[in-house]
């Protein structure tokens, strides 16, 4: 059964919450935190790959293709995953992604049948 956009957006939000929780336990120098966050980036990338492109267009400032690619790098090149890149993504992109999740939810709510 194909997952709907709403479920995939939920997946992104759950992963973002988990990343925040992991960071509250420690920084990326902690191997468990690093691994846990890396897995959540894989989940975010996989979820974004499945969201309809027309829906993603409501937040064109977000580099959706790069986010979808976040799944590929840690999955296929896990020994090359850099702490610095993950930290930069956390610092710069996570806040933008939170905003984008809100925009996607608003767009989906606007598509609901009235009544």
Whether residue 57 has pLDDT greater than 90: yes
Name the residues annotated as catalytic: 71, 76
Whether residue 64 has pLDDT greater than 70: yes
Q: For position 69, what pLDDT does the model report?
A: 82
Angle between helices 94-110 and 5-25 (to 10 degrees): 150
Distance, CA of 49 to CA of 80 (rounded, Å): 22
Tens of pLDDT, residue by residue over 73-104, are 655 455 556 788 889 889 998 999 999 999 99
**Domain boundary assignment for the chain:** 5-104
User: What is each CA distance from 54 to 58, 61, 79, 104, in whole angstroms?
Assistant: 8, 14, 34, 11
Whether residue 112 has pLDDT greater than 60: no
Backbone angles phi and psi of 52, in degrees to 5 = -55, 135
- Pick the range with the lowest mean pLDDT from 16-20, 21-25, 38-42, 76-80: 76-80
Tens of pLDDT, residue by residue over 33-45, are 999 999 999 999 9
């Amino acid at each position: 059964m194909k997952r709907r956009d709403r479920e995939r957006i939920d997946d992104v939000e759950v992963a973002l919450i988990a990343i925040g929780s992991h960071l509250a336990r420690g920084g990326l120098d902690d191997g468990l935190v690093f691994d846990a966050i890396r897995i959540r980036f894989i989940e975010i990338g996989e979820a974004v790959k499945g969201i309809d492109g027309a829906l993603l267009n409501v937040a064109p400032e977000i580099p959706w293709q790069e986010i979808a690619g976040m799944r590929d790098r840690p999955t296929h090149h896990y020994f090359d995953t850099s702490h610095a890149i993950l930290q930069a993504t956390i610092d710069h992109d996570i806040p933008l992604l939170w905003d984008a999740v809100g925009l996607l939810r608003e767009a989906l709510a606007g598509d609901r049948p009235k009544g």
